[in-house]
């Protein structure tokens, strides 16, 4: 109950703009700091294997459960595999290019979004101008939020929040379509644990207009110094994938962060 009350208070503060602002803070620097702390795919990071499970609520209100596996060596050696029932999606990056292989029924867009959430770096954040950083206390947890400047015509905004004590990413809020209109889509990160020199979240939860849409849990993140080289060659039947963003930026709109994660 206390958390719900705190969430509603933060919603009101950010929507009205009636909060104390730290004029000296640099939102872009804060975003970069969070990225540096968690970027397990940086050139200096070791090879790893990541496994996660997830539950997704689709647009048709169906509940799907699946698994995600990633093996990473470098920007030119990586493999990602998503499985939901009889559906399978394999993405491979090799020295000769990038490839995509889909088999079985098409995966819903909500499932395809999961791998991008684990990158912890929304592709749009460098393209916006932000308001000064705002500090808040939510149920005893100190957070800092960066909200984009409001669009004059639409009032649309994006937002990100960080744990104040360590600078780690806490939440991303952005717009997604709900039928014929846009709604706030917020993904919250928690349970950060040490991996090599980085801190990576083990839990992610996404809400759309307050309704649960996706829950994921990283069940393994381990060193993988000698992965099989055959994993990074073009799979039989795969098509060549372009370099365009797999999670394109939607029309701008996001009212405010909703720190409703059950810490």
**Cα–Cα distance, 185 to 177 (Å, whole number):** 9
Write down the pLDDT at residue 83. Answer: 97
Lowest mean per-residue pLDDT among 10-24, 121-135, 159-173, 229-243:
10-24
Count CA within 13 A, CB hemisphere, residue 149. Answer: 7
Q: Would you state the structure tokens that stand for residue 247, as one six-digit string?
A: 């999670």
Q: What are the structural domain ranges in the chain?
A: 19-240
Share of the chain residues as helix, strand and coil, in percent rounded to the nearest 5: 15, 45, 40
The total of other beta-carbon atoms located within 10 Å of residue 92's CB is: 22
pLDDT tens-digit profile of 25-72? 478 888 889 999 999 999 999 999 999 999 999 888 889 999 999 999
Mean pLDDT of 66-95: 95
Which are the contacts of 175, defined by CB distance < 8 A and separation ≥ 6?
Answer: 156, 158, 182, 183, 184, 185, 250, 251, 252, 253, 254
Entry pTM: 0.82
Which are the contacts of 127, defined by CB distance < 8 A and separation ≥ 6?
Answer: 249
Count CA within 13 A, CB hemisphere, residue 250. Answer: 16
Write the CATH number of the domain with boundaries 19-240: 2.50.20.10
pLDDT tens-digit profile of 153-207? 665 778 889 999 999 999 998 877 676 777 788 999 999 999 999 999 999 999 9
Average pLDDT, the chain: 81
Mean pLDDT of 109-137: 84
């Amino acid at each position: 109950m206390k958390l719900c009350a705190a969430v509603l208070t933060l919603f009101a503060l950010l929507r009205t703009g009636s909060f104390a602002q730290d004029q000296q803070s640099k939102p872009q620097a804060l975003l970069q700091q969070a990225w540096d702390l968690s970027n397990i795919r940086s050139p200096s990071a070791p090879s790893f294997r990541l496994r996660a499970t997830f539950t997704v609520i689709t647009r048709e209100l169906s509940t799907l459960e699946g698994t995600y596996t990633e093996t990473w060596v470098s920007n030119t050696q990586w493999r990602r595999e998503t499985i939901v029932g009889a559906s399978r999606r394999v993405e491979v990056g090799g020295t000769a290019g990038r490839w995509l292989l889909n088999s079985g029924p098409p995966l819903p867009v909500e499932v395809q979004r999961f791998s991008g959430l684990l990158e912890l770096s929304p592709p749009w954040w460098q393209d916006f101008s932000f308001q000064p950083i705002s500090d808040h206390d939510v149920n005893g947890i100190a957070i800092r939020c960066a909200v984009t400047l409001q669009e004059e015509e639409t009032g649309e905004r994006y937002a990100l929040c960080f744990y104040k004590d360590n600078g780690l990413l806490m939440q991303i809020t952005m717009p997604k379509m709900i039928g014929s209109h846009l709604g706030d889509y917020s993904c919250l990160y928690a349970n950060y644990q040490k991996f090599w020199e980085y801190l990576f979240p083990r839990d992610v939860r996404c809400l759309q207009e307050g309704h649960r849409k996706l829950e994921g849990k990283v069940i393994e993140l381990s060193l993988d110094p000698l992965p099989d080289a055959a994993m990074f060659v073009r799979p039989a039947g795969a098509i060549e994938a372009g370099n365009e963003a797999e999670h394109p930026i939607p029309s701008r709109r996001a009212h405010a962060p909703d720190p409703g994660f059950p810490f």
